[in-house]
Structure 1
Amino acid sequence: METRETSIEGVIVHDLVAHIDERGSFTEIYRETWLTDFKSIQWNIVTSREDTLRGVHVHKDHYDYLMILAGRMLLGLHDIRRDSPTFGTSEILDLTDEHRRAVSIPPGVCHGFYYPEASTHLYSVSTYFDPRDDLGCKFDCPELNLAWPTKDPVLSDRDRTADSYAQMLDKFYLDANA
Protein backbone atom coordinates (compact mmCIF):
# COMPACT_ATOMS: atom_id res chain seq x y z
CA MET A 1 0.00 0.00 0.00
CA GLU A 2 1.31 3.40 -0.95
CA THR A 3 0.07 6.73 0.34
CA ARG A 4 0.33 10.17 -1.18
CA GLU A 5 -0.91 13.60 -0.24
CA THR A 6 -3.10 15.55 -2.60
CA SER A 7 -2.71 19.27 -3.28
CA ILE A 8 -4.68 19.82 -0.04
CA GLU A 9 -2.71 19.33 3.17
CA GLY A 10 -3.93 16.39 5.22
CA VAL A 11 -6.01 14.76 2.46
CA ILE A 12 -4.31 11.44 1.85
CA VAL A 13 -4.89 8.93 -0.95
CA HIS A 14 -4.12 5.33 -0.06
CA ASP A 15 -3.38 3.24 -3.16
CA LEU A 16 -4.59 -0.17 -2.05
CA VAL A 17 -3.03 -3.43 -3.21
CA ALA A 18 -5.21 -6.27 -4.44
CA HIS A 19 -3.79 -9.75 -3.96
CA ILE A 20 -5.22 -11.72 -6.88
CA ASP A 21 -5.29 -15.43 -7.52
CA GLU A 22 -7.58 -17.93 -9.27
CA ARG A 23 -10.23 -17.50 -6.53
CA GLY A 24 -10.52 -13.72 -6.87
CA SER A 25 -8.85 -11.02 -4.82
CA PHE A 26 -8.16 -9.81 -1.28
CA THR A 27 -7.52 -6.13 -0.48
CA GLU A 28 -6.79 -4.53 2.87
CA ILE A 29 -8.80 -1.30 3.00
CA TYR A 30 -7.85 0.10 6.41
CA ARG A 31 -5.27 -0.31 9.14
CA GLU A 32 -5.19 1.75 12.31
CA THR A 33 -1.49 2.49 11.72
CA TRP A 34 -2.18 4.18 8.37
CA LEU A 35 -3.89 7.19 10.01
CA THR A 36 -2.65 8.32 13.40
CA ASP A 37 -5.17 11.19 13.77
CA PHE A 38 -8.17 9.08 12.80
CA LYS A 39 -10.14 6.63 14.90
CA SER A 40 -13.01 4.95 13.08
CA ILE A 41 -16.21 4.63 15.11
CA GLN A 42 -18.81 3.99 12.39
CA TRP A 43 -18.84 2.48 8.87
CA ASN A 44 -21.53 3.19 6.24
CA ILE A 45 -22.36 2.05 2.70
CA VAL A 46 -23.97 4.50 0.29
CA THR A 47 -25.49 3.71 -3.09
CA SER A 48 -26.09 6.50 -5.57
CA ARG A 49 -27.77 6.56 -8.93
CA GLU A 50 -26.20 8.05 -12.04
CA ASP A 51 -25.78 11.87 -12.08
CA THR A 52 -26.18 12.22 -8.29
CA LEU A 53 -24.23 14.81 -6.34
CA ARG A 54 -23.97 14.64 -2.55
CA GLY A 55 -22.73 17.73 -0.75
CA VAL A 56 -20.81 19.90 -0.55
CA HIS A 57 -20.29 19.27 3.20
CA VAL A 58 -17.65 20.15 5.77
CA HIS A 59 -17.05 19.06 9.35
CA LYS A 60 -15.34 20.90 12.20
CA ASP A 61 -14.53 17.82 14.22
CA HIS A 62 -14.68 14.59 12.29
CA TYR A 63 -12.56 12.82 9.74
CA ASP A 64 -13.95 10.86 6.79
CA TYR A 65 -12.30 7.80 5.27
CA LEU A 66 -13.85 6.50 2.05
CA MET A 67 -13.51 4.35 -1.03
CA ILE A 68 -15.54 3.32 -4.06
CA LEU A 69 -16.71 -0.30 -4.06
CA ALA A 70 -18.57 -0.21 -7.39
CA GLY A 71 -18.76 2.46 -10.05
CA ARG A 72 -17.10 5.86 -10.10
CA MET A 73 -16.99 8.97 -7.93
CA LEU A 74 -15.60 12.43 -8.58
CA LEU A 75 -14.58 13.62 -5.12
CA GLY A 76 -14.51 17.41 -4.93
CA LEU A 77 -12.32 18.88 -2.18
CA HIS A 78 -11.87 22.46 -0.96
CA ASP A 79 -9.78 23.60 2.03
CA ILE A 80 -11.40 26.22 4.33
CA ARG A 81 -8.89 25.89 7.22
CA ARG A 82 -7.50 29.42 7.65
CA ASP A 83 -4.33 28.11 9.30
CA SER A 84 -3.64 25.60 6.52
CA PRO A 85 -0.90 26.26 3.94
CA THR A 86 -3.38 25.01 1.32
CA PHE A 87 -6.25 27.30 2.44
CA GLY A 88 -8.53 27.96 -0.55
CA THR A 89 -7.11 25.10 -2.62
CA SER A 90 -9.56 22.93 -4.56
CA GLU A 91 -9.14 19.58 -6.27
CA ILE A 92 -11.28 16.85 -7.84
CA LEU A 93 -10.15 13.25 -7.44
CA ASP A 94 -11.44 10.57 -9.82
CA LEU A 95 -12.08 7.37 -7.85
CA THR A 96 -13.14 4.10 -9.49
CA ASP A 97 -13.70 0.52 -8.46
CA GLU A 98 -11.04 -0.52 -10.98
CA HIS A 99 -8.25 1.38 -9.18
CA ARG A 100 -8.83 0.75 -5.48
CA ARG A 101 -8.01 3.85 -3.49
CA ALA A 102 -9.11 5.03 -0.10
CA VAL A 103 -9.11 8.73 0.79
CA SER A 104 -8.92 10.29 4.22
CA ILE A 105 -10.37 13.79 4.64
CA PRO A 106 -9.58 15.87 7.74
CA PRO A 107 -11.91 18.37 9.43
CA GLY A 108 -12.12 21.71 7.63
CA VAL A 109 -11.87 20.25 4.12
CA CYS A 110 -15.14 20.57 2.21
CA HIS A 111 -16.11 17.54 0.16
CA GLY A 112 -18.75 16.68 -2.39
CA PHE A 113 -19.37 13.43 -4.21
CA TYR A 114 -20.50 13.29 -7.85
CA TYR A 115 -21.45 9.94 -9.40
CA PRO A 116 -21.39 9.92 -13.21
CA GLU A 117 -22.68 6.33 -13.06
CA ALA A 118 -24.56 4.25 -10.49
CA SER A 119 -22.09 3.64 -7.67
CA THR A 120 -21.55 2.30 -4.19
CA HIS A 121 -19.10 3.74 -1.73
CA LEU A 122 -17.98 2.76 1.75
CA TYR A 123 -17.04 5.34 4.33
CA SER A 124 -16.08 5.65 7.94
CA VAL A 125 -16.25 8.59 10.32
CA SER A 126 -14.38 9.46 13.50
CA THR A 127 -17.40 10.88 15.39
CA TYR A 128 -21.11 10.14 15.43
CA PHE A 129 -23.47 12.41 13.50
CA ASP A 130 -23.92 15.84 15.07
CA PRO A 131 -25.87 18.45 13.06
CA ARG A 132 -23.66 21.19 14.53
CA ASP A 133 -20.66 19.49 12.89
CA ASP A 134 -22.33 18.89 9.53
CA LEU A 135 -22.26 22.13 7.55
CA GLY A 136 -22.56 22.67 3.85
CA CYS A 137 -23.05 24.94 0.88
CA LYS A 138 -24.51 24.65 -2.60
CA PHE A 139 -22.36 22.45 -4.84
CA ASP A 140 -22.03 25.15 -7.49
CA CYS A 141 -20.83 28.03 -5.31
CA PRO A 142 -18.10 29.68 -7.43
CA GLU A 143 -15.85 30.09 -4.36
CA LEU A 144 -15.41 26.31 -4.24
CA ASN A 145 -13.67 26.40 -7.62
CA LEU A 146 -14.89 22.88 -8.41
CA ALA A 147 -15.60 22.17 -12.08
CA TRP A 148 -18.34 19.59 -11.75
CA PRO A 149 -19.27 17.94 -15.09
CA THR A 150 -22.96 18.67 -14.54
CA LYS A 151 -25.12 21.73 -13.93
CA ASP A 152 -28.29 19.93 -12.85
CA PRO A 153 -27.46 16.80 -10.82
CA VAL A 154 -29.81 14.77 -8.67
CA LEU A 155 -29.67 16.45 -5.22
CA SER A 156 -31.25 15.87 -1.83
CA ASP A 157 -33.60 18.56 -0.51
CA ARG A 158 -30.93 19.46 2.02
CA ASP A 159 -28.24 19.95 -0.64
CA ARG A 160 -30.65 21.81 -2.96
CA THR A 161 -31.43 24.35 -0.21
CA ALA A 162 -27.93 24.47 1.30
CA ASP A 163 -26.32 27.69 2.47
CA SER A 164 -24.14 29.95 0.39
CA TYR A 165 -20.38 29.60 0.73
CA ALA A 166 -20.22 32.72 2.92
CA GLN A 167 -22.97 31.44 5.21
CA MET A 168 -21.19 28.11 5.58
CA LEU A 169 -17.92 29.85 6.47
CA ASP A 170 -19.69 32.08 8.99
CA LYS A 171 -21.21 29.04 10.73
CA PHE A 172 -17.94 27.09 10.60
CA TYR A 173 -15.93 29.90 12.21
CA LEU A 174 -18.66 31.27 14.49
CA ASP A 175 -19.00 27.93 16.24
CA ALA A 176 -15.21 27.47 16.31
CA ASN A 177 -14.82 30.80 18.12
CA ALA A 178 -17.73 30.26 20.55
Structure 2
Amino acid sequence: MQFERTRIDGVVLIRLDVKKDGRGAFARTFCTNEMAAAGLRFVVVQTNISRNIARHTLRGLHYQRAPHGEPKIVSCPRGRIWDVAVDLREDSPTYRQWQAFELSQDSDSAVHLPAGVAHGFITLEADSEVHYLMGAAYVPGAATGVRWDDPAIGIDWPAAPAVMSDADQGYPLLL
Protein backbone atom coordinates (compact mmCIF):
# COMPACT_ATOMS: atom_id res chain seq x y z
CA MET A 1 0.00 0.00 0.00
CA GLN A 2 1.17 3.52 -0.79
CA PHE A 3 -0.02 6.54 1.20
CA GLU A 4 -0.31 9.95 -0.46
CA ARG A 5 -0.95 13.00 1.69
CA THR A 6 -3.48 15.40 0.21
CA ARG A 7 -3.97 19.12 0.60
CA ILE A 8 -6.43 18.53 3.46
CA ASP A 9 -4.71 17.83 6.75
CA GLY A 10 -5.12 14.15 7.68
CA VAL A 11 -6.87 13.09 4.46
CA VAL A 12 -4.76 10.42 2.77
CA LEU A 13 -5.21 8.70 -0.59
CA ILE A 14 -4.35 5.02 -0.21
CA ARG A 15 -3.09 3.35 -3.38
CA LEU A 16 -3.28 -0.42 -3.36
CA ASP A 17 -0.47 -2.61 -4.65
CA VAL A 18 -2.40 -4.84 -7.02
CA LYS A 19 -0.90 -8.14 -8.16
CA LYS A 20 -2.35 -9.36 -11.45
CA ASP A 21 -2.00 -12.68 -13.21
CA GLY A 22 -4.07 -15.07 -15.32
CA ARG A 23 -6.55 -15.62 -12.49
CA GLY A 24 -7.33 -11.94 -12.01
CA ALA A 25 -6.02 -9.66 -9.29
CA PHE A 26 -5.23 -9.55 -5.58
CA ALA A 27 -4.63 -6.57 -3.30
CA ARG A 28 -4.40 -5.97 0.42
CA THR A 29 -7.02 -3.35 1.23
CA PHE A 30 -6.18 -2.76 4.89
CA CYS A 31 -3.15 -3.43 7.08
CA THR A 32 -2.80 -2.07 10.61
CA ASN A 33 1.00 -2.27 10.47
CA GLU A 34 1.31 -0.47 7.12
CA MET A 35 -1.15 2.19 8.25
CA ALA A 36 0.78 2.75 11.49
CA ALA A 37 4.09 2.97 9.60
CA ALA A 38 2.48 5.73 7.51
CA GLY A 39 1.39 7.56 10.67
CA LEU A 40 -2.26 6.52 10.47
CA ARG A 41 -3.53 4.88 13.64
CA PHE A 42 -6.78 3.22 12.62
CA VAL A 43 -8.81 0.53 14.38
CA VAL A 44 -11.77 -0.89 12.49
CA VAL A 45 -14.85 -1.02 14.74
CA GLN A 46 -17.50 -1.52 12.06
CA THR A 47 -17.89 -1.76 8.31
CA ASN A 48 -20.67 -0.32 6.15
CA ILE A 49 -21.75 -0.60 2.55
CA SER A 50 -23.82 1.82 0.50
CA ARG A 51 -25.56 0.49 -2.61
CA ASN A 52 -26.69 3.14 -5.06
CA ILE A 53 -29.03 2.23 -7.88
CA ALA A 54 -29.07 5.41 -9.94
CA ARG A 55 -26.38 7.49 -11.61
CA HIS A 56 -25.93 10.88 -9.91
CA THR A 57 -27.17 9.71 -6.52
CA LEU A 58 -25.74 12.11 -3.95
CA ARG A 59 -25.09 11.15 -0.34
CA GLY A 60 -23.72 13.60 2.20
CA LEU A 61 -22.09 15.65 3.43
CA HIS A 62 -22.10 13.58 6.64
CA TYR A 63 -20.10 13.61 9.86
CA GLN A 64 -20.55 13.03 13.58
CA ARG A 65 -20.17 15.81 16.15
CA ALA A 66 -17.32 15.56 18.67
CA PRO A 67 -16.59 13.66 20.76
CA HIS A 68 -18.07 10.99 18.48
CA GLY A 69 -16.10 11.76 15.31
CA GLU A 70 -15.87 8.93 12.81
CA PRO A 71 -12.55 8.36 11.08
CA LYS A 72 -13.16 6.24 8.00
CA ILE A 73 -11.58 4.62 4.98
CA VAL A 74 -13.79 4.80 1.89
CA SER A 75 -13.52 2.73 -1.29
CA CYS A 76 -15.69 1.92 -4.30
CA PRO A 77 -15.55 -1.80 -5.14
CA ARG A 78 -18.26 -1.54 -7.81
CA GLY A 79 -19.11 1.30 -10.16
CA ARG A 80 -17.62 4.78 -9.96
CA ILE A 81 -18.06 7.73 -7.59
CA TRP A 82 -16.80 11.28 -7.11
CA ASP A 83 -15.88 11.24 -3.43
CA VAL A 84 -15.60 14.47 -1.42
CA ALA A 85 -13.88 15.32 1.87
CA VAL A 86 -14.62 18.64 3.63
CA ASP A 87 -12.55 19.71 6.61
CA LEU A 88 -14.91 20.93 9.36
CA ARG A 89 -12.32 20.99 12.15
CA GLU A 90 -12.24 24.64 13.26
CA ASP A 91 -8.67 24.32 14.57
CA SER A 92 -7.37 22.79 11.33
CA PRO A 93 -5.17 24.75 8.89
CA THR A 94 -7.40 23.39 6.11
CA TYR A 95 -10.74 24.30 7.74
CA ARG A 96 -13.60 24.51 5.21
CA GLN A 97 -11.43 23.27 2.37
CA TRP A 98 -12.61 20.38 0.22
CA GLN A 99 -10.99 17.84 -2.02
CA ALA A 100 -12.49 15.26 -4.35
CA PHE A 101 -11.27 11.87 -5.52
CA GLU A 102 -12.63 9.64 -8.24
CA LEU A 103 -12.95 6.17 -6.80
CA SER A 104 -13.97 3.13 -8.80
CA GLN A 105 -13.64 -0.60 -9.08
CA ASP A 106 -10.63 0.06 -11.33
CA SER A 107 -8.93 2.87 -9.38
CA ASP A 108 -7.20 0.55 -6.89
CA SER A 109 -7.44 3.23 -4.22
CA ALA A 110 -9.27 4.31 -1.09
CA VAL A 111 -9.44 7.50 0.96
CA HIS A 112 -8.69 7.87 4.66
CA LEU A 113 -10.76 10.59 6.35
CA PRO A 114 -9.99 11.63 9.94
CA ALA A 115 -12.68 12.49 12.48
CA GLY A 116 -14.11 15.96 11.86
CA VAL A 117 -13.92 15.71 8.09
CA ALA A 118 -17.35 15.55 6.43
CA HIS A 119 -17.85 13.01 3.67
CA GLY A 120 -20.12 12.82 0.66
CA PHE A 121 -20.18 11.46 -2.84
CA ILE A 122 -22.09 11.44 -6.08
CA THR A 123 -22.30 8.32 -8.20
CA LEU A 124 -20.92 8.61 -11.71
CA GLU A 125 -22.39 5.26 -12.75
CA ALA A 126 -25.55 3.36 -11.89
CA ASP A 127 -25.18 0.42 -9.50
CA SER A 128 -22.23 1.86 -7.60
CA GLU A 129 -21.24 0.51 -4.18
CA VAL A 130 -19.29 2.34 -1.52
CA HIS A 131 -17.52 0.44 1.24
CA TYR A 132 -16.58 2.04 4.56
CA LEU A 133 -14.15 0.88 7.24
CA MET A 134 -15.19 2.85 10.31
CA GLY A 135 -12.83 3.80 13.12
CA ALA A 136 -15.66 4.66 15.53
CA ALA A 137 -19.16 3.40 16.16
CA TYR A 138 -22.19 5.21 14.76
CA VAL A 139 -23.91 7.37 17.40
CA PRO A 140 -27.35 8.46 16.08
CA GLY A 141 -27.56 11.55 18.29
CA ALA A 142 -24.19 12.80 17.02
CA ALA A 143 -24.91 12.26 13.32
CA THR A 144 -25.27 15.44 11.29
CA GLY A 145 -24.20 17.07 8.07
CA VAL A 146 -23.85 20.20 6.01
CA ARG A 147 -25.45 21.05 2.71
CA TRP A 148 -23.86 19.58 -0.39
CA ASP A 149 -24.26 22.92 -2.19
CA ASP A 150 -23.13 25.22 0.64
CA PRO A 151 -21.59 28.35 -0.94
CA ALA A 152 -19.22 28.69 2.05
CA ILE A 153 -17.58 25.46 0.89
CA GLY A 154 -18.05 25.88 -2.87
CA ILE A 155 -17.78 22.27 -4.04
CA ASP A 156 -17.67 22.01 -7.82
CA TRP A 157 -19.73 18.84 -8.24
CA PRO A 158 -19.39 17.12 -11.64
CA ALA A 159 -23.19 16.84 -12.03
CA ALA A 160 -26.41 17.93 -10.39
CA PRO A 161 -27.89 15.31 -8.06
CA ALA A 162 -30.68 13.21 -9.56
CA VAL A 163 -31.42 11.35 -6.30
CA MET A 164 -30.97 12.61 -2.72
CA SER A 165 -32.53 11.95 0.65
CA ASP A 166 -34.72 14.56 2.32
CA ALA A 167 -32.24 14.63 5.21
CA ASP A 168 -29.30 15.45 2.92
CA GLN A 169 -31.32 18.21 1.22
CA GLY A 170 -32.25 19.68 4.58
CA TYR A 171 -28.85 20.04 6.24
CA PRO A 172 -28.00 23.59 7.30
CA LEU A 173 -25.56 25.93 5.65
CA LEU A 174 -22.35 26.79 7.48
CA LEU A 175 -22.40 30.25 8.99
Q: Which residue of 1 aligns with 2:134?
A: 125
Q: Which residue of 2 aligns with 1:73?
A: 81
TM-score (norm 1): 0.87
Q: Could you report, residue by residue, the CA deviation over 1:19-55 in whole angstroms, capped at 9, with x for unpaired residues?
A: 1111111110001121543211111221112110000
CA distance in 2, matches of 1:24, 1:90: 35
Kindly tell me the number of residue pairs found equivalent between the two proteins. Answer: 166
Q: Which residue of 2 aligns with 1:171?
A: none
CA distance in 2, matches of 1:133, 1:38: 20
Paired residues for 1:73-152 under 5 Å: 73-118=81-126, 119-152=128-161
Match status 1:24 vs 2:32: no
Match status 1:53 vs 2:61: no
Q: Could you report, residue by residue, the CA deviation over 1:90-147 in whole angstroms, capped at 9, with x for unpaired residues?
A: 1111112112101110111121111011211211112221123321022111112211
Gaps of 5+ in 2: none
Gaps of 5+ in 1: 167-178
CA distance in 2, matches of 1:165, 1:39: 30
Q: Which residue of 1 aligns with 2:162?
A: 153
Deviating more after overlay: 114-123 vs 152-161: 152-161
Q: Which residue of 2 aligns with 1:173?
A: none
Q: Is the 8 A contact 2:63 2:70 kept in 1?
A: no
Q: Which amino acid aligns with 1:38?
A: F
CA distance in 1, matches of 2:15, 2:140: 32
Identity %: 30
How far 1:151 sits from its partner (Å)? 2.9
How far 1:152 sits from its partner (Å)? 3.7
CA distance in 1, matches of 2:105, 2:172: 32
Paired residues for 1:38-49 under 5 Å: 38-48=42-52, 49=54
Structure whose residues are more often helix by fraction: 1
